[in-house]
Structure 1
Amino acid sequence: MCLDYGPYKLISGDDETSLEEISTILVLADGLKLIDNFGKTRLITGTISEIDLLNQRIVLA
């Protein structure tokens, strides 16, 4: 079964971030580190509360 219907989205409250260019997500003690295809990093605070593979979304608490 293939679930590839487009890029995943990172949901944090009312904020929604496309993960289209993100190649790696690292879980840190105080949040997440997103690394894109070119090695650029971005830190996001919060913890993962849900990963919804069917609807391509990762929800943060």
Structure 2
Amino acid sequence: MCLDNGTFLLVHGGGELSLEHVASVLPVAGGLKLVDVFGKSREIAGAIEEIDLLNKRIVVA
């Protein structure tokens, strides 16, 4: 099976965030750190519950 290179979505707290420019998702104390291709970072609370490669989404609880 071949997967295309479409944009992933981060599903968190009932909302969705496009990960179009996110280069890394890193674990940090109590959450995740998202680092984009420009080096800008953002932290969100929670832990990865599911990574769905087929539907291009990462679910955080």
**Is residue 24 of structure 2 the alignment partner of residue 24 of structure 1?**
yes
Q: Counterpart amino acid of 2:33?
A: K
**Is residue 33 of structure 2 the alignment partner of residue 33 of structure 1?**
yes
Structure 1: gaps (5+ residues): none
The total of aligned residue pairs comes to 61
Percent of aligned positions with the same letter in both sequences? 57
Per the alignment, residue 50 of structure 2 pairs with 50
> Any runs of at least 4 consecutive aligned residues in structure 1 with deviations exceeding 4 A, and if so which?
none
The whole-number CA distance in structure 1 between the counterparts of 2:20 and 2:4 is: 12
For the residue of structure 1 that corresponds to 2:2, the secondary structure is coil
State the 1:5 CA deviation: 5.0
**Is residue 16 of structure 2 the alignment partner of residue 3 of structure 1?**
no
TM-score of the two chains, using structure 1 as the length reference: 0.92
The whole-number CA distance in structure 1 between the counterparts of 2:48 and 2:4 is: 21
